[in-house]
Amino acid sequence: MRRKASLILLALAVFCTAMSPLIRWYAFPRLAKIPANQYQTMVLEAKDATLVDYGSMQVRKVPRLTVVQTLKGDVEASDRIEKSAGRDVVVWDGLSYILGPDGKFVSQIPERYIFDAHSQEPVHATGESVDGDPVTREGIEFKWPFLTEKRSYEYFDARARITRPIHYKGTEDFRGVTVYRFEQTIPWTKVPFPKKLPVKGVTAQDIARTGTQMWYTTERTFLVDPTTGAPVYGEEKHKEEMRGGTLLGDRDKVTAFAGDVKMREDFIRSTVDLVKSNRIPVLLLTSYLPWGFLVLGVLLLALSLWLEARGRRPGDPEPDPLDEPAPVSV
């Protein structure tokens, strides 16, 4: 009986030990992915910002500038692109909508971001764009991969339509979450004017015909949860200038916008809470279940060996062949 129990425990030990690497290295890469129907909103603010009035071309200080960022998954487009790409794809329609201190429209930048649901690598397909212009992204945007590493990543800047490294700068604690700090600097770069401007009847083409150009630079910081790859905090020291052309009169350049854009406090709290809850499924597949099955397998193996040893105690007398009853013949 002990021997049978020992063999059953040994089989269970082998099963549990085999499940440990299977969950971590087979199940996790296939199960951990961004849902195609995700929808989220983020609000950022720039206090004491500098803003140009496109009507008078005068620069003024404003107490607050609000940036509303939305990301909405397009499930139908994801399904369509998946058929040709042969992998799980997510399509996000993003919009950065900027409001002045009076709540009136200042600017907006729409974009369509297409990426691999598991690795967050960009997938190039029809519709990939920024402000209506086709782009071919390289590098990540909005989100880091699951199990983010302590290294630099290539990060796409939608305003400049370029990809530059975003560097790992250290590990720290942010409101109870261990995060990685990443920083990126985009040097002064010529960028297109937003296609939608706050002055009726004035378009980006109208401004371009005056010879005036838009230039942009930023220093961005993200605090990223390494388990899910989701940023829990973001900040940008953002600056845009209009340079040259007849629109500025005798001025060489005019600040179009300058400000330190930070996540609003209530959205920081909700983002941290969301990331904490999203960490659990990832940790189950990468840590809790693999280590749990491994420990259970070792314990079952030890119990199996213990039962086997008890079944063969050296103190038990060996059966004597002479004591066995002789066979009865008829």
Nearest residue to 210 (alpha-carbon basis) of 251, 176, 170: 251
pLDDT at 330: 47
For 274, phi then psi, to 5°, come to -65, -45
For 128, other C-beta atoms within 10 Å of its C-beta total 19
How many residues comprise the chain? 330
Nearest residue to 271 (alpha-carbon basis) of 94, 71, 117: 71
Chunked in runs of 10, what are the mean pLDDT values of the chain (330 residues)? 77 91 92 92 95 87 94 95 92 94 90 95 94 94 96 96 97 96 97 88 85 95 97 96 89 93 95 94 94 92 83 59 55
pLDDT at 299: 93
Contact 27, 285 (CB under 8 A): yes
SS3 readout for the chain: CHHHHHHHHHHHHHHHHHHHHHHHHHHHHHHCCCCCCCEEEEEEEEEEEEEEECCCCEEEEEEEEEEEEEEEECHHHHHHHHHHHCCCEEEEEEEEEEECCCCCEEEEEEEEEEEECCCCCECCCCCCEECCEECCCCCECCCCCCCCCCCCEEEEECCCCEEEEEEEEEEEEECCEEEEEEEEEEEEEEECCCCCCCCCCCCHHHHHHCCCEEEEEEEEEEEECCCCCCEEEEEEEEEEEEECCHHHCCCCEEEEEEEEEEECHHHHHHHHHHHHHHHHHHHHHHHHHHHHHHHHHHHHHHHHHHHHHHCCCCCCCCCCHHHCCCCCCC
Return the axis-axis angle of helices 2-22 and 289-310, rounded to nearest 10°: 160
Contact 15, 301 (CB under 8 A): no
Q: Residue 88 has which token pair? A: 């799980």
For 183, other C-beta atoms within 10 Å of its C-beta total 16
**Distances in Å between the alpha carbon of 210 and those of 52, 131, 225?**
17, 21, 46
For 313, phi then psi, to 5°, come to -65, 135
Contact 128, 113 (CB under 8 A): yes
